[in-house]
Amino acid sequence: MDENKLQWAPAGLERFSRLEEKIFQTVEEIKAIRKENDDLCTKNSLLNEQVNEQIKGNEALRCEIDRLTAQNTGEYEKLRSENNGLLQQIETMRQSETETLELLAQFEKEREELRDRVERTLTLLKSLDDH
């Protein structure tokens, strides 16, 4: 009977080692996803700041357009065209922000799935420890 136990011990250690490696890999994946999530949050904040700066700049341009309208209609049309270009840039940035938020939501979903996998793995390890 002792010989039988000795035969099972290496197999059990191998299984434990594989589980330990899987847990380590899962933890590393979670760390990478968290870092990506943090990076995306930072990028999102920067995009929000840029959009707000563009909006402020756009408002300033509108005031300038009103002043120039009284002076020169030709200059007004030129500035109006530039303003429309800025509005298009803002819209592009907003679309980019929306895409970034969608990616962030996907990463959060994946993070939750990984968290569930880790919890299940830990539960499995605990049940193996209990045996």
50-68 pLDDT per residue, tens: 999 998 988 888 888 887 7
Which helix (H) or strand (E) segment holds residue 81: the answer is: helix 73-130
Which residues lie below 8 Å from residue 64, measured CB to CB, with a gap of 6+? 79
Asked whether residue 6 carries a pLDDT value surpassing 60, the answer given is no
What is the DSSP-derived secondary structure letter of residue 131? -
> In the prediction, which pLDDT does 27 show?
95
pLDDT of amino acid 66: 80
